[in-house]
Structure 1
């Protein structure tokens, strides 16, 4: 299910210095990981795209190759401004990872979900998360041998996404917001400092209610099974198409909180795919980025925000860590959430410090 944290079953990481082709098991014996070379794995093959005529959303595509060219950041920021303020979704291309590298990650996801349940240690879970490769998570969780064999690639993949996509986007947001320090947001999402970023393998998607994600931005790698929809200002759902060579990006809650809602955390959901795609698995690669746990979610010092009448969404200072804990509590405890929805009676529920979450059109 494409829903930040709602189906979080297990989180995975490993020792980031583990680079060898063999691993030592708990009993001290050596495990030969060469059997997990790609030549021995069943490759992932993208399913065919739907032939049904759907109401596709029209999203802007950013070419990140332009970022380091003269005047490139300003051009990209101008191109992006409407999308981040009114839509909350867009595409990026030329993000520094080859199609072969992306396809390899899809292959790992496919073969991971084919492992026996006890080897996955997931109890038939549909998602598997790998947090940042930092000391905060080093050695905290065990990985199946399939992923141990490819940890350097997974680490490279995750770090490339952070450096080549997350940080440039944050600089573009700062330009759009006319912040005096173009790197202000970048400093709130450095890779080394503790935060709950993670890379996800996902199988399926299921039916999901309209929701927003917890963090700053979410990346979804192209896969052709239709199912992701966004809610427009007109109250109607439109489909997100799979554009070749792109990552679909959506803004999430914390960046919206930092702008009092001016940057849009888009409401989205996953629905049953069109009939001509029912026979295929929906395999997903996603990356979720969040600010440092200690970041306070007050509106930024931006001239754009007071001009738009923006105020804080909270009645008192709230950190990212507090926000994530409060929203997780509602997401992961449906009985408590249902009681709160019923008590409110207006389609909202208080999440934290006066901020109210909302039920969205199904």
Structure 2
């Protein structure tokens, strides 16, 4: 018999930390200011400064209510309350080869220098609803799938499309330059993610430096909904210092990713970030995240944009693949090569893994 699915109910976020942390000073892009050319220009200037100097920024007034956001958090919470044997039914075939949609269980990698403590990170990825196929989900999600689809599509129209317009303006490109290669109905590896960092006992936290080590995301922009358990840190490009990212009410936290760095030959910085051990007053709770990962169409080749006057004037004309003389990959080739590296069971601190060749012309880097 089918299992009854409980009502979502309300979702209550845990209190923010009372500890005084070294917070990053991030700017905010205000999407309510795009009705005039002057407003667009101002917000485009804020965005390009952020993705060049910090990599992370906040977005406000994005037209999606907190109630809708909290329903997605509640849905993620319900999924993670399922028995492990039920969640394991949704592990994708080919996980070790880079497949990622569905459930990625915890414990695949180690997070300490000695290689003895396994991660407690669980992931559930939901691919785009673009007609290619219908993914099979557990009942707690499938019974709300229309709501999930509406939410995911709204992230494109209400958040990503305006950000891509601002980025194009900042690079003196046509406004639709980036939206044309990020159309929802075209095949790409975008996905919505529910992510849980299960708490460790205090004696384990005392042995750990981080819950996940420094890395960059592989796509265009990552959207992170407000997460009050402080643990996210970014590495400042100018000084390599690590700073905490403060949860701000009624905002999204957004970071630029690898694909934009390749397309701009490094003018846009792919943000190095990590999840570290939370403050002591928050170590007793699990950390539930709601994220969206945006990527260009699969067939887009990650060559440097040559028709941006800004990139030409600044001398950003060749990315790492082009400088090395190796073939420039498509987004699909890049995505699955890096996902294969990310999904390996090898410890993330092992030297041969941390600096592995993802594709000819690009080696990963150690960020500690």
- When residues 216 and 306 of structure 1 are mapped into structure 2, their CA distance, relative to the original with a 3 A threshold, is same
2:175 and 2:360 map into 1 onto residues whose CA distance is 29
**Aligned mate of 2:11, from 29, 41, 44:** 44
Query: 2:245 matched to 1:240?
Result: yes
1:193 counterpart (186, 190, 200): 186
The two structures have a TM-score, normalised by structure 1, of 0.83
> Aligned ranges for residues 305-344 of structure 1 at < 5 Å?
305-310=311-316, 311-314=318-321, 315=325, 316-333=327-344, 335=346, 341-342=351-352
| Aligned counterpart in structure 1 of residue 256 of structure 2, from 243, 246, 251 | 251
- Matched residue SS, 2:57: strand
Superposed, 1:47-126 pairs within 5 Å as 47-120=14-87, 121-122=89-90, 125=106, 126=122
Aligned to 1:26: none
Alpha-carbon distance in structure 2 between the residues aligned to 1:293 and 1:213: 16
| C-alpha contact (below 8 Å) 2:60/2:250 kept by paired residues | yes
2:363 is matched with which residue? 356
Mapped partners of 1:137, 1:198: distance in 2: 14
8 Å contact kept, 1:66–1:73 = yes
Q: State the alpha-carbon separation in 2 of the partners of residues 114 and 196 from structure 1.
A: 27
Distance 1:143 1:330, change over 3 A: closer
Deviations 1:136-165 (A, max 9, x none): 132xx3211111221111111100001111
Moved more, 62-71 or 293-302: 62-71
- Contact 2:213–2:274 under 8 Å retained in 1: yes
Q: Report how many aligned residue pairs link the two structures.
A: 321
After alignment, is 229-238 or 304-313 more displaced?
304-313
CA 1:208–1:338 in structure 2 vs 1: closer, same or farther (change >3 Å)?
closer
Partner of 1:16: none
In structure 2, distance between residues paired with 1:68 and 1:269 = 36
User: Which runs of 5 or more structure 2 residues have no equivalent in the other structure?
Assistant: 92-104, 107-121, 199-209
Change (3 A) 1:247 1:336: closer
Q: Which runs of 5+ in 1 are unaligned?
A: 1-28
The alignment partner of 1:208 has SS state of strand
Write the distance in 2 (CA, Å) between the matches of 1:183 and 1:60.
24
Cα 1:142/1:262, change in 2 over 3 Å = same
Kept after mapping to 2: 8 A contact 1:330/1:337:
no
Matches within 5 A, 1:30-41: 35-38=5-8, 41=9
| Aligned-residue CA RMSD (Å) | 2.2
Cα drift, residue 95 of structure 1: 1.1
1:338 Cα offset (Å): 7.8
CA distance in 1, matches of 2:282, 2:347: 36
CA contact (8 A) 1:91 1:249 kept: yes
Q: 2:279 aligned with 1:274, yes or no?
A: yes
Q: Pick the aligned partner of 1:212 from 206, 211, 216.
A: 216
Match of 2:156 in 1: 162
SS of the residue 1:330 aligns to? helix
Q: CA deviation at 1:51?
A: 0.8
Whole-angstrom distance in 1 between the partners of 2:290 and 2:136: 20
Give the Cα–Cα distance (whole angstroms) in 2 for the partners of residues 37 and 238 of structure 1: 38
**Cα deviation, residue 122, structure 1:** 4.9
1:127 aligns with 2:131: no
Q: Distance in 1 between matches of 2:153 and 2:195?
A: 19
